[in-house]
């Protein structure tokens, strides 16, 4: 089996996408930060010691998606056409949903994953004064469209 990011000498390299078609591409990822119910109440009321966590985390997620190729060595820098970062407050956590779009030759799964992960890290930073035992997890791509491999949605 030939690996796409390994050359004939075994060295890692960035895949050449020059011959791929430019298509509309979208990826949606999610992450979950689990914390105490009282901390969720503080998040909902913008009552954390560091301030209102969700707007800060939204901007951090957007910035993270834009910097993905700086963080992941073999990712291509992409012209992102849209980034949405949203939150769902749960009884014991915050679900982060990141959707990223491009019109390009390669997909935006890594950008969506980076968006939700950076947003989760930011929420952790915002709540650590009241809960330094919060847990970040369940990071995954849940939807992808465009490109050669086609469209798919993760089954619940």
Among 74, 139, 51, 66, which residue's Cα sits nearest to residue 101?
Answer: 66
- Helix, strand, or coil (residue 120): helix
Cβ neighbours, 10 Å, residue 130 = 17
Active-site residue (options: 16, 125, 131, 138): 125
Q: What is the end-to-end Cα distance of the chain in Å, rounded?
A: 31
Rounded CA-CA distance 91/16 in Å is: 45
CA dihedral 140, 70, 148, 152 (to 10 degrees): 20
52 an active-site residue?
A: no
Element spanning 68, H or E: helix 68-71
- By annotation, the residues acting in catalysis are 125
């Amino acid at each position: 089996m030939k690996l796409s990011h390994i050359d004939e000498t075994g060295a890692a390299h960035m895949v050449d996408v020059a011959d791929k078609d430019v298509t509309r591409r979208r990826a949606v990822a999610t992450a979950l930060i689990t914390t105490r119910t009282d901390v969720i109440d503080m998040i909902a009321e913008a009552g954390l010691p560091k301030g209102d966590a969700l707007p800060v985390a939204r901007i951090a997620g957007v910035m993270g998606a834009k910097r993905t190729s700086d963080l992941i060595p073999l990712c291509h820098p992409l012209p992102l056409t849209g980034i949405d970062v949203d939150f769902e407050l749960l009884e014991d956590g915050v679900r982060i949903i990141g959707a990223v779009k491009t019109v390009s030759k390669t997909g935006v799964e890594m950008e969506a994953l980076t968006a939700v992960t950076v947003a989760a890290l930011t929420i952790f930073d915002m709540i650590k004064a009241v809960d330094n035992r919060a847990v970040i997890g369940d990071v995954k791509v849940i939807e992808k469209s465009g490109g050669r491999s086609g469209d798919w949605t993760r089954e619940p």
